[in-house]
Amino acid sequence: MFSYNTKGTCSRLIVFDVDENDNIHNVKFIGGCSGNLQGISRLVEGKNIDDVSKLLKGIKCKNNTSCPDQLSHAIEAYKMRDKAAVKQ
């Protein structure tokens, strides 16, 4: 399970799993608008992380970001962490 502290949104934390095929699972937003965030979680379930990131990146709400945009940032942070682990 990967955790990401959001910035500039009502949700505070995003947690999710990524399988061996780079598909995202079990996305949960802590805080924020429950119904909308449950919808996002269901819509991205089982999708490729690169496709999800491209689709959601740049969606704006307040503070020049949004919960979907923050999920794209969380995916990028996951990928950077994964690359750092490979280099070691």
Kindly report, residue by residue over 45-58, the tens digit of the pLDDT: 999 999 999 999 99
Domains identified in the chain and CATH numbers: 2-87 (3.90.1010)
pTM over 0.75? The answer is yes
DSSP label of 48: B
Distances (CA, A) of 71 to 37, 42, 51, 55: 10, 13, 12, 10
Q: Taking residues 2-27, what's their average pLDDT?
A: 98
pLDDT at 81: 87
Under the banding of pLDDT at 50, 70 and 90, the label for residue 14 is very high
pLDDT at 5: 98
18: region left, alpha or beta (phi > 0 left; psi from -120 to 50 alpha)? beta
Beta-bridge partners for 74: none
